[in-house]
Amino acid sequence: MSITDRYLDTARGTLRAAGLAARIRTGISVDAAWITVKSLASEGAGAVHRRLELEAPLAASPAAADGDWFDPAGWPASAARDAIIRASGGSPLEVIATIRQARFQRDVRIGASRAELSLDTIETTRADGTGDRWVELEAELLDGTTGDLEALGRRLAARADLAPATSSKLDRALGRMSGRPG
């Protein structure tokens, strides 16, 4: 599956200053786009963490790149939309980063729990046209206990060829787009 994430903020960085990241995701299906709001801070240590995540469908259109698509006032009512409007103070949003991902995902059972494993090949493009690419493995608990997810985390951490991410995809993309190592 090919996914495009457009991360949004105001020109002054109001959402990030409020501890939030907002994205519009396309590619999950041909007729849908999703708005997601995540907190930048998370609970937990190591590879297993928990953070606020609000998600809602948007009406998609072929004109997805049009500026009005990034105006939360025109989005369907949702907790995600309301959080963005509150945090931005109604200031216009702009795309601060675009991340394209080739995603392979599978559901796995761990003990009595079920998790979604996603292997993403992530690509960013700088303003000068050069790009960067990396691969990330993510496990998301779908149902069950965090204890089972932690057990999966320990099994993955035991592999010499895997290491927990130390930053979010957005932070890595912004760092790499600015020329800093991610």
Q: Residue 14 falls within a domain, yes or no?
A: yes
Each residue's pLDDT tens digit, 89-106: 989 999 888 899 999 999
Q: Are 97 and 173 in contact (CB under 8 A)?
A: yes
C-alpha span between 97 and 182 (Å, rounded): 14
Would you say residue 182 lies in a domain? Answer: no
Residue in the structure block whose two tokens are 């709001």: 37
CA distance 65 to 47: 34
The domain in which residue 140 lies consists of: 2-177
In this structure, is residue 146 part of a structural domain? yes
CA angle 70/126/72 to nearest 5° reads: 10
In this prediction, residues 40-54 reach a mean pLDDT of 72
What's the domain count of the chain?
Answer: 1
- Element holding 176 (H helix, E strand): helix 169-177
User: Is 29 among the domain residues?
Assistant: yes
What CATH number is attached to the domain comprising 112? 2.40.320.10
Alpha helices per DSSP H over the chain:
14-17, 79-88, 146-157, 169-177
The confidence band for 64, taking pLDDT boundaries of 50, 70 and 90, is: very low
Residue type, 88: S
170 located within any domain = yes
Sequence-ordered alpha helix ranges (H) in 31-168: 79-88, 146-157
